[in-house]
Amino acid sequence: MKKWIVRSVVATAVLAGFGDVSEQAEAQGEAKNVIFMIPDGYSSGYASVYRAFKEDGLPAWDEHQVGHMMTHSANNRVTDSAAAGTAMASGVKTNNGVIGLNPEGERVQTVLEAAKDSGRSTG
């Protein structure tokens, strides 16, 4: 059975091409595959409230969630979905209303593109 783990910031670093991760993961018994999810509107507040009112055990993400990230955009303390998604998928903060470009308007590579370029499957 394959080991799967949900990561966000770490997924960007892993899939961005820092060495042959799959061989290292196999040797160290770590996760070989990464599921990178960008939930829109999700926050620690949402997670806390859901956890408090869930009747049968803890939420599934409690077992796999690894960390949080700052989601402000490059030009505003309050981000929108476009800027937040770009930052999470590429590691580069951008302006509100912008997808896939840095604040100067230059295209940025996403974690999916980096994974594909390194021969990994994406979907």
Distances (CA, A) of 42 to 33, 89, 120: 23, 15, 28
Q: Does 81 participate in catalysis according to the annotation?
A: yes
Amino acid at 49: V
Query: String of b and e for 21-37 (b: at least 16 CB within 10 Å)?
Result: bbeebeeeeebeebebe
Distance CA 114, CA 120 (A): 9
Set 81, 90, 118, 121: catalytic member: 81
29: left (phi over 0), alpha (psi -120 to 50) or beta: left
Distance CA 59, CA 19 (A): 33
Any idea which residues carry the catalytic annotation?
A: 81
